[in-house]
Amino acid sequence: MKYLNSSDMKRRNVPAGALALLALLFVNHSPADAASVQEVKVRGKIIVGIQGDNAPWGFVNSAGVQDGLDADIAKLFGKELGVTVEFIPLNVANRIPALVTGKVDVLFATMAMTEERAKSMQYSKPYAANTIALLAPKKENIKTAADLAGKEIGVPRASAQDKAVTESAPPTATIRRFDDDAAAIQAMLSGQVQAVGGNLFYLPRLNASQPDIYEKKIEFLNVYNGAGTRLNERDWNETVNAFIDKIKANGDLDKIYRKWMGVPLPEFPASLLNIPFTVK
């Protein structure tokens, strides 16, 4: 299994690097409104950054309520802390800036664990897995990355699939970046792009709108998701990791995973190269 280690119209203008630079501006300066775990308990509310448009990870349901795998986990975390949960839906590119500036206390936001992001935020132990792939209409003759030459490919800006497509596509491919997953999917459905970089739930969403049209063409890699806290904040990192250990051990995480993913909880690695799960 391969792990992700370590533009908008010019493909080598990699936005992940710019995002990391922005986040690093705050690394040595604790934002004034960033709360500690104890302060959150006193406040009685935790503010969770989540994706609002990426079912089944995080989305707003028909009742206008934040829902999904990440939402269920965050609600359990709030219960563990004895506080209420306020969700702030974020675009892919806004997740780390919202965290490092103190707009949110923690991210349960489909955060694929990458070496680049680990320079700007602290990951928890992994709690979910994902597959990054290229999806396109069945009629498109795409079998390898080389077949993307001359094609327009949609991706959510600063996402794991953005990085995978940018690193794999030939120079003559045009990568169009969108603000979120929903916009990238809509670009595929409307014919703005000929292929889209997505996660393992893009294909059901595409075929739900246009049945039996799309298929997975290239599987780039498998990744793991972790919660995000600010660098060097040991209290948050230790609290989140203890919580993840607890819901793995008592079966709560498996129940949530089966509910939203339809499969049992996968095995998670004890470590990933250059992606620490704990504050040193």
Nearest to 175 by CA among 155, 149, 145: 155
Per-residue pLDDT tens for 244-264? Answer: 999 999 999 999 999 999 989
What does the buried/exposed string (b/e) look like for 189-206 if buried means 16 or more CB atoms within 10 Å of the residue's CB? beeebbbbbbbebbbebb
At residue 86, does pLDDT exceed 70?
yes
For residue range 17-30, list pLDDT tens digits in order. Answer: 444 444 444 444 44
Q: Among residues of the chain, what percentage have pLDDT more than 90?
A: 85
**217 in Cβ contact with 142 (< 8 Å):** yes
Domains of the chain: 16-129+225-261 (3.40.190.10), 130-222 (3.40.190.10)
Q: Which amino acid is at 42?
A: V
Q: Is the pTM of this model over 0.85?
A: no
